[in-house]
Structure 1
């Protein structure tokens, strides 16, 4: 399993410009939980871990209410993936453990 514990400084490449997101995560076997904070405020996150792959959903209210489908791959202290925003498409996600 990937070591996901720590604080991740992430950027989502959205049509509204780069969205900064900080996620404080703790792994527990095949799952993880933590807190995500950024322009949308702060909200709890939880998801699954399979090898070096993470998957989770985030319900946001800014700029409009929607549920984001997120997936990323961890390699050491970096992560890369995407954030699915339904009909708005999918946006690149990158991050580093800080």
Structure 2
């Protein structure tokens, strides 16, 4: 079965995310781009920029992992569905309950931090 191009996620660009956690809403941004045909990314929020790891696109689903140190030291795993310029899914920190993630793509171009 061939993936429908209209349903294949285009993740490249900058996304403004809202993560609904038990302690409140966290706002962050993630930027995805390509380096030598490899998808790369950086997350920015809470005064830190962290690289994204294990980025995978499967149709409209995108997954990645990242580590943060603020407000707590956590290893996060994201799984989102993209539809056009919006995304929705979850972020999970270890055994903690999943947090709902929503996001919108910025319309102004931006580079992935080097």
So what's the TM-score if we normalise by structure 2? 0.77
Kept in 2: contact 1:32–1:49 (CA 8 A) = no
Written as runs of structure 1 = structure 2, the 5 A alignment for 1:1-98 is 1-26=8-33, 32-39=39-46, 41-46=48-53, 47-98=55-106
Kept in 2: contact 1:11–1:95 (CA 8 A) = yes
Once the two structures are superposed, residues 42-86 of structure 1 have per-residue CA deviations (whole angstroms, 9 ceiling, x without a partner) of 111131011111111111112222211110000000000000112
Superposition RMSD in Å: 1.9
Gaps of 5+ in 1: none
Asked which structure has the greater CA Rg, the reply is: 2
Number of equivalences: 97
Tell me which stretches of 4 or more aligned residues in structure 1 moved more than 3 Å: none
